[in-house]
């Protein structure tokens, strides 16, 4: 069995974690700035989905949770 180089693993994990954190921050900020009329569904439910089902909850909010206009 081959051992994993910790430096190579960190080179992958750190950028992915940064992207996930940025997505989380962006979607929560967007949700907070929108009125309830601009959100499909309950804002609290979307906030829970974004935080608890990250990154899928954040992506789902961007695709289906926002109303344009």
> Is residue 38, in this structure, part of any structural domain at all?
yes
pLDDT-derived band at 69 (thresholds 50, 70, 90) equals: low
Nearest alpha-carbon partner for 44 in 33, 54, 32: 32
> Is residue 1, in this structure, part of any structural domain at all?
no
> Is residue 14, in this structure, part of any structural domain at all?
yes
pLDDT-derived band at 6 (thresholds 50, 70, 90) equals: confident
pLDDT at 7 over 80: yes
- The string of pLDDT tens digits covering residues 43-62 is 999 999 999 998 999 999 99
Nearest alpha-carbon partner for 63 in 41, 37, 48, 44: 41
The range of the structural domain enclosing residue 16 comes to 6-65
Q: CA–CA separation, 8 vs 19, rounded Å?
A: 18
Structural domains in the chain (count):
1
pTM of the model: 0.83
- Look at residue 18 in the predicted model and tell me its pLDDT: 97
């Amino acid at each position: 069995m081959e051992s994993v180089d910790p430096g190579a693993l960190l080179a992958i994990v750190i950028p992915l974690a940064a992207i996930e954190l940025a997505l989380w921050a962006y979607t929560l900020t967007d949700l907070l700035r929108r009125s309830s009329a601009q959100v499909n569904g309950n804002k609290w439910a979307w906030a829970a989905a974004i935080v608890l089902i990250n990154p899928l909850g954040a992506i789902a909010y961007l695709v289906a949770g926002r109303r344009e206009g």
